[in-house]
Amino acid sequence: MDARVVCCSLVAVALAAAPLVTAAQPAPVDPYGGASYGGATYGGATYGGDAYGGDAYGGDAYGGASYGGDAPVAARPRPPAVMAYDWTTGLVRLDDAGRQIVLAAPVEGRVLAHSYQPLIVDEATGRWFLTRQAKAKTARAWTLVFGDRRGATAEIAGDPRCGGRGPACFEVPLGFAADGASVLTLSMHATGFTLGRYAFAVAGRRELAGKAIATRLAIAPTQDRAAYVSRGGLALIDWTATGPRPKARGQQVKLDGTLDRLVMLDEAVLFRRRVTSRDRRVTTTLEVIDRATGDREVVYQPRHELAWAPLEAPARGSAFIHDCDHARGDNPCDLIEVTAVGARAMARGVARALDVSADGRYLLVLRHPRERAGRATAWPDLVVVDLATGQDAAVYPEVPADSAQFTR
């Protein structure tokens, strides 16, 4: 959302109803038990065939032009560092150099002195912010904490209507605005949600969207458009118009069932849709609506349960969703990448995906190792997955991270 977001406009875009069409889905990538393990790669031509013991091993490649010869060795790209909120310590930075405490969590006795909401990091600059609420017997005020890799630099008062002695309220950080100089938060009131903006490290909240739309609101990566769930369907918003309190115009997209988990892709809106039949059977699908044509397509049907909120990947024009098996004790999830034209599995056995790097190459996940020999705790590992190769680029063992994001 750029500097033009001063008074929001609610311009609903008219979309014509269209028949349901199933999109062509790319072949899923299965890193466990597919062609890579026990198939053509292992035990085939690569292992024990021409590559091993042939010309590649002991021939020109080994000891010849490639080894000690003229061919340069390509350097493996290094993944970004990771900033994580570890509830046992506080805010920590993780990289090749180890673990650096950026912000220690204040403790009163055996418990934390504050309640924390998820960490948001601007990967390019390393700046970060989070919201927290001081624990007290009476009034509970929310604050925003700002900082960089060196530590906290400022703390300001949050939404004055959130907290106090009234009904429960949480102020949740959403992200940095497109101008890079301000941040967005969502105040979750008992009677509805409101979207607000603060200048970075400067007190004063400006409300951008009120209770009518902010409950289920998805903002485009460019932050000039948004979508929200309306009564009986879906509506699109355009933030670029000016004027005092412009009203919504146009038609809504009429859809039956329950809509949630919205994501704004480049030219489409992705949402989870649940329909309950007369025999109370629930059918869940992931669908997209093309913003220009209004065409609807089903892009994914879950194997288990779509449990976690989607993780947006603007550089890839996609979102990652979690298809989780709650029948298992560790709730393993298939991580599915969804675009406007289909879906494919990118990883399996993931507890939760936390962030995608700005260039779209690396994925940050929590994973429960199956083998825990020599482990002191049952905490999960924080793992950086290279999406180009499907391999682990970095593993930070036993990091009980409530939230984490990439940083530089």
Q: Which residue has the higher pLDDT, 166 or 246?
A: 166
> Exposed, middle or buried: residue 148 (CB in 10 Å: 0-12, 13-18, 19+)?
middle
Q: In this model, does residue 12 exceed pLDDT 70?
A: no
Lowest model confidence (mean pLDDT) among 23-32, 159-168, 368-377: 23-32
Q: Name which residue leads in pLDDT, 244 or 143.
A: 143
Identify whether 42 is part of a domain: yes
CB atoms within 10 A of CB 368: 17
Q: Which residue has the higher pLDDT, 138 or 67?
A: 138
Q: Residue 47 sits in which domain range?
A: 31-65
The more confident residue out of 28 and 354 is: 354
Has residue 376 got a pLDDT over 80? no
Please give the residue that has the higher pLDDT: either 59 or 243. 243
Residue 37 within any structural domain of the chain: yes
What are the tens digits of pLDDT across the range 275-299? 888 888 888 888 898 877 778 899 9
- Is residue 175 domain-resident? no
In this predicted structure, what is the pLDDT of residue 104? 92
Entry pTM: 0.75
Report strand pairing: 120-121 vs 192-199. Answer: unpaired
> Does a structural domain hold residue 254?
no
Tell whether 364 is covered by a domain: no
Is residue 49, in this structure, part of any structural domain at all? Answer: yes
φ, ψ dihedrals at 370, nearest 5°? -75, -30
Domain count, the chain: 1
State yes or no: pLDDT of 203 exceeds 70.
yes
The per-residue pLDDT for 50 is: 41
- What pLDDT score does 82 carry? 97
- Average pLDDT score over residue span 355-375: 84
Mean pLDDT for the chain?
A: 76
Residue 35 lies in a domain: yes
Collect all residues with Cβ–Cβ distance below 8 Å to 109 and sequence separation of at least 6.
none
53 located within any domain? yes
